[in-house]
Structure 1
């Protein structure tokens, strides 16, 4: 079973039921809805409904990730279909009667002459020639290009006074809560406290959806440790990060972020331009294959497709390609595991659960069991086990259907729903039957089983057993 998770972004190329089902069959674990490109709540509701229909049709369970826009500065929606830019020409940027209109009004207090402006992940660069007024800049184009509506605008090295969450984000957040999505990504996180507004809304609603912090600003790098501690997971948004900071720093930062997440037991996603050439071509470049492999070797939990599946010509093929790369890299890591440096997580507090997980990992490696079966109510045991990166597949068996979507982000964890059982013997029997049915174990093989006694109490894992399969092949 593939252990690295795949996130696919929906868009014009992949918003119909047939394609969504194909994406799931190709190996998608989480479906991402980018709220930057969605204007109506009804569109999101329809997408979520299609995803749930496809889950039933394909007999798979995926997570749903709502990616909030955040205070991202974008080109306005209502510009012509494309705006051609010529090198060395001057252009006005701001709101109102300007050549490059922005979607929001910004006061350019911190922008100076000679500041740089980059549009569309740095594809078009400008130099600030002058400030016409507090809300309008005159820019000189440094290269030819074409600007499309809603493309991102960056001011590298300039810390603009922007809120951590916008009015649209608040609406989208409430919609995500209503639709019971599995993950929410907060864009342009700069400080650990940026999640406070979201937590207040969760408290009011009575729900608590896991939050991913998107790392794409220099301030986030400066505050990385506290952000990793505060959030439920991290997304390395290499597009904006590579515009805001020197490109040559991005692979170094990627490795640093992944290592910190692994060490602290937080899931981490590597994103942006992973198979960019497959937006137009049916096969990737060698460099893209190496990029994905490198992220997996680094220890990423998940790899994400953006434009490749949202607007590309080969959305399903992109997922199939990514899955194939992951499987081959994981096979090599497993084959050479004695030479592979693992990041053993450093838990803030050693508990019975973390100790059981550590023991399960060590025993599994020593006797080469194919599976660690985890009976879980809250998902805590499965999450902790994922941090150890065992060669065995982690099979989380839970009476909590909602948990399946949340755990879909965690490396190596595959979740199955089973109705609550009253005794450990019943749970073990059900686990064995499930593993045999799924072809994950054979008669005579051993697997590791963990559970909690008394049954049905969340966070009570205190039992570990090495069980030999007695079922029929």
Structure 2
């Protein structure tokens, strides 16, 4: 299934898209991988969705990635005697450790870690920022605040802490249970970690996962931005989770942060996904707003590896149309005359490694000679990542004998992944590359491709060779 675009589409599954027939429609419409939101999925439903995705994968014959998104810590206030309370700007309001119903002067906060960590001057944002409090005094059992703006607070509303670093890790007991269930399935490719604050938050998950899944850090807290380079280094991928990020930071700063994160990930050779409210109006409308189209286009122009649909595909009235629209926007942007210049101006310098040098050379040769495709053999996935980092203007076919590698690479910009056996010798390596490029419609007889591989064959991390080959009349190697 050849995609006529480079950016990938990550579609969230939910009530509107949990059946196998709908998953197939979404894949055919353009979804390259699927997200299972563990905030709303039971372990049984997660296993069912994984099974259905794999059935679609088998039927369509293309590797499909699966991302399990862990909920992360959900910080909420307690309940009120009347279900809600009305506040006035300038008044004093207290959050404390007394487990009794609240009123217009106080409420229970069932999170001792917050009571211990908040300092005077720190902001507390309630209900996605609709109510803003400033801490005036804290004694580890209560936080006395001044109401800055907002007039209402009600039962179980969420609490965001843009100025406070919590000592507790990013994994809750629910997350640990969900992670164990995901790993037990042994068929999930990525796990997304919510509310990452520091690189240490990744350590526990790394220890539990032991390389069985890729780790995608969701950037949605200001604290994460302070140590972003370390977080990128320890992550396998990043997600720009703009919803919570826009609550905890000034919303007007989010577009600039998005650009910074995309460029930092590209420099590091790590995939980056842009998420949240990209085609929000398509939850209930068959067409998006012009602003939403521009939002998706901006992410594509910046060179993001993937763009994500949330409620649009999970619970919306038009899940297939939302995927089709996102794919259509991506194709249009990538054919815009300004696109190559924007993409190439951000091209990072190669690292002093064999994989980077080979990927750079393959891209330069392919563009100079106007070749039909770059074909890279990749067992671990590293060569595929390095090829994509170059953002070549010719297609990249990633051949891997490891199905898990091909599935994981489904989130990476521009990679058309194919599962194939390892080549037996150099002739077989070239013949196989030509045959697959022909079969997958990336080249016709007489076209040339460039192949990157490693000698000895089948040795992970040994990419050290380039070969230009003609596609013959039978799809095999020409003279």
Q: Which residue of 1 aligns with 2:386?
A: 384
Deviation for aligned residue 1:452? 1.6
- In the alignment, the residues of structure 1 paired with residue 264 and residue 321 of structure 2 have an alpha-carbon distance, to the nearest angstrom, of 32
Deviation for aligned residue 1:401? 1.0
Gaps of 5+ in 1: none
Q: Which residue of 1 aligns with 2:359?
A: 357
After superposition, the Cα gap between the structure-2 partners of 1:105 and 1:382, relative to the gap in structure 1 and judged at 3 Å, is same
Say if 1:216 and 1:237, in contact at 8 Å, map to a contact too. Answer: yes
After superposition, the Cα gap between the structure-2 partners of 1:364 and 1:44, relative to the gap in structure 1 and judged at 3 Å, is same
**1:298-349 deviation per Cα after TM superposition (whole angstroms, max 9, x unaligned):** 121111111211222221111111111111111125x76357543333455x
- Within 5 Å, give how 1:279-358 maps onto structure 2: 279-332=283-336, 337=340, 340-348=343-351, 350-358=352-360
**1:111-142 deviation per Cα after TM superposition (whole angstroms, max 9, x unaligned):** 478865445544x3244699899368889695
Deviation for aligned residue 1:196? 1.2
- In the alignment, the residues of structure 2 paired with residue 258 and residue 115 of structure 1 have an alpha-carbon distance, to the nearest angstrom, of 29
SS class of match (1:108): helix
Larger CA deviation: 393-402 vs 104-113: 104-113
2:445 to 427, 443, 446: 443
Q: Which residue of 2 aligns with 1:253?
A: 257
- Alignment partner of 1:37 is 2:37: no
- Alignment partner of 1:23 is 2:26: yes
- In the alignment, the residues of structure 2 paired with residue 455 and residue 189 of structure 1 have an alpha-carbon distance, to the nearest angstrom, of 39
2:276 to 272, 277, 288: 272
SS class of match (2:11): strand
- Alignment partner of 1:194 is 2:201: yes
After superposition, the Cα gap between the structure-2 partners of 1:102 and 1:421, relative to the gap in structure 1 and judged at 3 Å, is farther
Q: Which residue of 1 aligns with 2:432?
A: 430
Deviation for aligned residue 1:455? 1.5
- Alignment partner of 1:224 is 2:228: yes
- In the alignment, the residues of structure 2 paired with residue 23 and residue 351 of structure 1 have an alpha-carbon distance, to the nearest angstrom, of 39
- In the alignment, the residues of structure 2 paired with residue 440 and residue 120 of structure 1 have an alpha-carbon distance, to the nearest angstrom, of 50
- Within 5 Å, give how 1:65-464 maps onto structure 2: 65-74=67-76, 88=88, 96-98=99-101, 107-111=114-118, 117-119=124-126, 121-122=128-129, 124-127=130-133, 134=141, 142=149, 152-180=158-186, 181-203=188-210, 207-332=211-336, 337=340, 340-348=343-351, 350-464=352-466
SS class of match (1:189): coil
**1:352-374 deviation per Cα after TM superposition (whole angstroms, max 9, x unaligned):** 22211110011111122231011
Deviation for aligned residue 1:280? 1.6
SS class of match (1:327): helix
Q: Which residue of 1 aligns with 2:11?
A: 8
**1:268-308 deviation per Cα after TM superposition (whole angstroms, max 9, x unaligned):** 11111111111121111111111111111112111111121
SS class of match (2:39): helix
TM-score of the superposition, structure 2-length normalised?
0.87
After superposition, the Cα gap between the structure-2 partners of 1:419 and 1:136, relative to the gap in structure 1 and judged at 3 Å, is same
Q: Give the superposed CA RMSD.
A: 3.1
SS class of match (1:195): helix
Say if 2:123 and 2:135, in contact at 8 Å, map to a contact too. Answer: no
- In the alignment, the residues of structure 2 paired with residue 346 and residue 93 of structure 1 have an alpha-carbon distance, to the nearest angstrom, of 51
Gaps of 5+ in 2: none
Larger CA deviation: 136-145 vs 458-467: 136-145
- In the alignment, the residues of structure 1 paired with residue 86 and residue 251 of structure 2 have an alpha-carbon distance, to the nearest angstrom, of 24
Say if 2:9 and 2:327, in contact at 8 Å, map to a contact too. Answer: yes
- In the alignment, the residues of structure 1 paired with residue 283 and residue 452 of structure 2 have an alpha-carbon distance, to the nearest angstrom, of 43
After superposition, the Cα gap between the structure-2 partners of 1:146 and 1:351, relative to the gap in structure 1 and judged at 3 Å, is same
- In the alignment, the residues of structure 1 paired with residue 374 and residue 300 of structure 2 have an alpha-carbon distance, to the nearest angstrom, of 21
TM-score of the superposition, structure 1-length normalised?
0.88
Say if 1:258 and 1:299, in contact at 8 Å, map to a contact too. Answer: yes
Number of aligned residue pairs = 463
Deviation for aligned residue 1:61? 2.1
- Alignment partner of 1:49 is 2:51: yes
Say if 2:128 and 2:247, in contact at 8 Å, map to a contact too. Answer: yes
**1:440-473 deviation per Cα after TM superposition (whole angstroms, max 9, x unaligned):** 1111111111122222111122221121111248
- In the alignment, the residues of structure 1 paired with residue 204 and residue 189 of structure 2 have an alpha-carbon distance, to the nearest angstrom, of 19
- In the alignment, the residues of structure 2 paired with residue 107 and residue 303 of structure 1 have an alpha-carbon distance, to the nearest angstrom, of 33
